[in-house]
Amino acid sequence: MSDKEIIKNRVEWFTSPISPEQFAELSESENSLIILEVALRDYTLTEIARIVESNNAHVTALSVLSLSGGSALMVSLKLDVDDPTAILRSFERFNYNVVYYHMREGEVTDKQRERLDELMYYLEM
């Protein structure tokens, strides 16, 4: 494939609207994926990238899908790390709504999540 064809394909991909089905398929090709729901007024790409990079990771791909008539965005981040647990915790700390995440290793089980919630409830007493 020539350089011109590659550029043409990328421009066509970039200018065509992404469907929800295409958005959901993003998790199949990278180490980890995080999908955030962000209000349009709160969306700052530099802040999201800073949170990811402060945890020694890099964003390898980013997709944004408009929701709710444009008042909210669904931001999909493909990352180059196998275990984005620290990044997920950072997003929670900065009040980002993590809608979905996928990771290859180190996945937190439901039981671990339940125990962590119980510990946090105990600490807040």
- Tens of pLDDT, residue by residue over 54-80, are 999 999 888 888 887 778 888 888 888
Angle, in degrees to the nearest 10, between helices 85-93 and 45-53: 140
More confident residue, 74 or 7: 74
Of 44, 119, 11, 31, give the one whose Cα is nearest residue 83.
Answer: 31
Q: For the whole prediction, is pTM greater than 0.85?
A: no
More confident residue, 23 or 91: 91
Q: Which CATH class is domain 19-124?
A: alpha beta
Domains of the chain, by residue range, sit at 19-124
More confident residue, 98 or 123: 98
